[in-house]
Amino acid sequence: MSLSSQLRFLPRPFWVLVGATFVNRFGVFVVPFLALFITQNGNSATQAGFAVAAYSLGGFVAAWIGGWMADRLGRNVTMAVASIAGAGCMIAMSQASDWRMLALLSFITGAITEAGPPASAALVQDIVPPEQRVIAFAVQRFAVNLAWSLGPATAGFLAEYSFFWLFAVDAATSLFFGIIAWKFLPRGHQTPKDQAGWGHAWQSIRQNHAFLALFGACMCLAWVFRQTNTTFPLHFERNGLPMHDCGLVLALNGVMICLFELLIANTLRNWPVKLVLALGYVLMSTSFLVFHISATLTAFVVMMVIFTIGEMAAFSRQQAYGASLSPDDMRGRYVGFLSFAWCAGNTASSALGMMLYDRNPTLLWTINASLGIVAAALILSTRKARYQE
């Protein structure tokens, strides 16, 4: 089936979700510049790392609550509550300056806003047939990264004028997404109360070795991915490069994904899924080794190109692969449990990564590369899973 035919068969609620996601993700202005916002308020890079890590730490709470809410209360309810409440949190963060208060607010914001993504991923699994999920997740990533290609560039210019507007626009787009989710998206599959607890899900997960390997790989990749939002802009600034150029380099990631990921996802449909995942993981993580050689603007561009090629190869396939390992009545909790991996990796990366950067950037880039190789090994070491494209 051609790519255009596959796109035509995707259901209407999926396209509503994609459109709302685009608006919401365009306004993700705060996270890429949060570490810089904190340091510009007179706090050290290490203190900023702790505050950013608090956001990821809040994600642990979000994964637990969001996974349960998605299965028990419905996908749209979970997304709406998380987005609308998260908008208020963003405004509160804009008024803080001390890193301790920012850390507390970051934790609360992460605990609320990150409860939405498990419901979004579970809803895609509900409404899209298994054979179309690779393309569906690629389309969703297209929307996210089209927004990402425009958002950071805009945010970079706004940050030079006033950081407050980053928080204000972020809050406004979150509010928009929450309203659309509440009124126009379906609840999706709902699990009976006596089967919706985490105990039932854990009994299934602990026997699912392929899913546990994916969990470990995601924890490694979360460390690597978080560096693009923490040490990457900080390294950019400390090498004397202007912040609007940083926004443009970050936007390059989204531009490449918009131009090429759908084509790559369709082209690689018949490649072994675990091989594609492993290759993508290695490319993403080793891209940071470019900084061993140079820290010019050209080096940052080269690093981002290599990183993005790896991301395009791995991430839409990773979501479909994870979906194939999830029982139908536990989708929200499985996605939520996988979020624990990202939370753990993000938290460690934010706190320890910033600390390592302060002391030895070269060692940090080497650790990034090593973790990607470990992630690839974990995926390749598992037996063939029941994955169907």
The string of pLDDT tens digits covering residues 175-217 is 999 999 999 999 888 788 777 788 888 889 999 999 999 999 9
Average pLDDT for 104-114: 90
Of the listed ranges 134-138, 149-153, 270-274, the least confidently predicted one is 149-153
Q: What is the pLDDT of residue 16?
A: 95
Could you tell me the two tokens for 217? 């790989």
Q: What is the pTM of this model?
A: 0.77
Domain ranges across the chain: 14-186+195-381
What percent of the chain has pLDDT above 90?
Answer: 34
Could you tell me the two tokens for 169? 């626009």
Separation between Cα atoms, residue 73 and residue 192, nearest integer Å? 10
The mean predicted confidence, pLDDT, of the chain is 86
Separation between Cα atoms, residue 277 and residue 316, nearest integer Å? 10
CB 343 within 8 Å of CB 52? no
The string of pLDDT tens digits covering residues 289-317 is 999 999 899 999 999 999 999 999 998 78
Higher pLDDT, 212 or 250: 212
Separation between Cα atoms, residue 92 and residue 102, nearest integer Å? 9
Separation between Cα atoms, residue 162 and residue 182, nearest integer Å? 32
For 298, residues 6+ apart whose C-beta sits below 8 A from its C-beta are: none
Q: What is the pLDDT of residue 264?
A: 86
Q: Is the pLDDT of residue 384 over 60?
A: no
In 10 A of CB 61, how many CB atoms? 17
CB 83 within 8 Å of CB 116? yes
Q: Is the pLDDT of residue 354 over 50?
A: yes
Q: What is the pLDDT of residue 1?
A: 61
CB 147 within 8 Å of CB 99? no
Could you tell me the two tokens for 53? 């890590």
Task: Decide if domain 14-186+195-381 falls under CATH 1.20.1250.20.
Answer: yes
Concatenated DSSP letters of 173-234: HHHHHHHHHHHHS-------GGG-SHHHHHHHHTT-HHHHHHHHHHHHHHHHHHTTTTHHHH
Q: Is the pLDDT of residue 389 over 60?
A: no
Separation between Cα atoms, residue 284 and residue 315, nearest integer Å? 11
Task: Give whole-number Cα distances, 226 to 77, 230, 343, 350, 369, in Å.
Answer: 28, 6, 10, 7, 13
